[in-house]
Amino acid sequence: MTEPVLSVRNLQVEFATRRHTLRAIDGVSFDIAKGEVLGVVGESGAGKSVTGLAVIGLIDPPGRICGGEIRLSGLRIDHLPAEEIRRIRGKRVGMIFQDPLTSLNPLYRIGDQIVETIKTHMSLSDSAARKRAIDLLAEVGIPAPDKRIDGYPHEFSGGMRQRVVIALAICAEPELIIADEPTTALDVSVQAQIIGLIKRLGRDHGTAVMLVTHDMGVIAETCDRVAVMYSGRIAEIGPVGDVVRNPLHPYARGLMGAIPTLAGDDKRLVQIPGAMPRLSAIPPGCSFNPRCAFAFERCRIERPEPIRRGAQAVACHLFDASVKDSAA
């Protein structure tokens, strides 16, 4: 097998407060191959965005990576000095944030911002950089790019601004793009266009994509594999079709069961009782055990490790053959 573009092993991220040190990410591991889109899904507070920020070195104090490894095409990047990770960020790793206005300077023309990013990471003249910026705007679907390149962010709609941000993210031809809720603020028709654009990036450029979202519809439409996160850990990971149609972890089952269908049946949607625990009050054992209808004694004591089940991996004691009898 070829080496993955991104390899994360046992990632741990903590935040120091006056009273406690809070573990936000606790032992997360996954790979993303060239041209693959990995979706990361879960409730608010599950650790999705923090995982993405850790990969690109944007965890600010009092937060820090306190364990594990992050490798980009074999190069370990989690322990690099700030200046080195800054050179990697933008050149080899692109980022698409939820709100495009946080990525665009309202005082500068769109073209100036793209040209500046291109010249930071590539040795091009002003005219060549401007031509590449126009080509990128055309690639992401901006109409009349040779004219719109001189516009300001406020002159673009939300969907068009997000396209500009995607152009910024891919301008240096990165190996990896991390997209953090890129369609949340957009209406449904524009969402579909942005989803299609992200899928095309992987297909045409071979770019690996980590797509962070809470929208299972976006995951099902866009991703090759999906990782379901809960309370700073991956509860289940596998091919998106398998996880959507046959979720194994009780939390993943609850998420999938809460998605309305077009079948027209009258059965009630699944409701997961309770709420995700605060970082200062994560229960021992499996952090999902207070909300789980299948929890037994071991779930309250011992933290489950991922167990392979075909193409899926699930962190649940129910799938450990050695405890079948005690679970019964």
Contacts of 141 (CB under 8 A, 6+ apart): 163, 193, 197
What ranges make up the beta strands (E) of the chain?
Answer: 6-16, 21-32, 37-41, 63-72, 75-76, 93-96, 176-180, 208-212, 225-230, 233-239, 307-309, 312-314
219/212 Cα distance (integer angstroms): 9
Higher pLDDT, 101 or 86: 86
Residue 328 pLDDT: 44
Residue 259 has pLDDT above 80, yes or no: no
What backbone phi and psi angles, to 5 degrees, belong to 247?
Answer: -65, 140
pLDDT (mean) for 98-122: 89
Is 176 within 8 Å of 129 (Cβ atoms)? Answer: no
Higher pLDDT, 263 or 48: 48
Tokens representing 278 are: 């605060």
Residue 323 pLDDT: 56
pLDDT (mean) for 244-273: 79
Residue 82 pLDDT: 87
pLDDT (mean) for 36-44: 92
Residue 262 has pLDDT above 70, yes or no: no
* pLDDT per residue as tens digits for the range 158-180: 889 989 999 998 888 899 999 99
Q: What percent of the chain has pLDDT over 70?
A: 95
Residue 326 pLDDT: 46
Q: How far is CA 253 from the centre of its chain?
A: 20
Higher pLDDT, 220 or 258: 220
pLDDT (mean) for 126-142: 92
* Predicted TM-score (pTM) of this structure: 0.90
* pLDDT per residue as tens digits for the range 287-300: 999 999 999 999 99
SS3 state of residue 37: strand
pLDDT (mean) for 89-97: 89
Residue 327 pLDDT: 44
